[in-house]
Amino acid sequence: MRSAIKLLMGKIFSAGFTKILSSFFLFIGKLIVTAVGTFVAGYGAYQVDSQIHLGPPLIAAVSCFILSYYVIEIVALVIDTIYFCFLYEDTMMIKERE
């Protein structure tokens, strides 16, 4: 843990910018998945009896957001891991080469 904090503190602005930027794009991804799922459920419910229903799109919106939240959190973990690998290579590998 000490090494991870040392890596992050060495490039604090870079780490903050990367975290903010990745969080923004991942949130946009969650919204897009939720919107598409809601639209598909609403369109499917409308095609059944040509009336606008609120139940299926609402249930689809909640379930799509929950599902996309957990899947995209895995992607966020991968982004953090890759970023730590980059920081390690940028910081520690240069010292080892010298």
The string of pLDDT tens digits covering residues 33-88 is 999 999 999 988 888 888 878 888 999 999 999 999 999 999 999 998 888 888 77
Q: pTM here?
A: 0.74
d(CA 71, CA 79): 13
Tokens found for residue 33: 């998945």
d(CA 3, CA 6): 5
Domain spans, the chain: 2-97
Identify which has the larger pLDDT, 71 or 92. Answer: 71
Residue 28 pLDDT level (bands cut at 50, 70, 90)? very high
Based on C-alpha coordinates, what's the Rg of the chain?
21
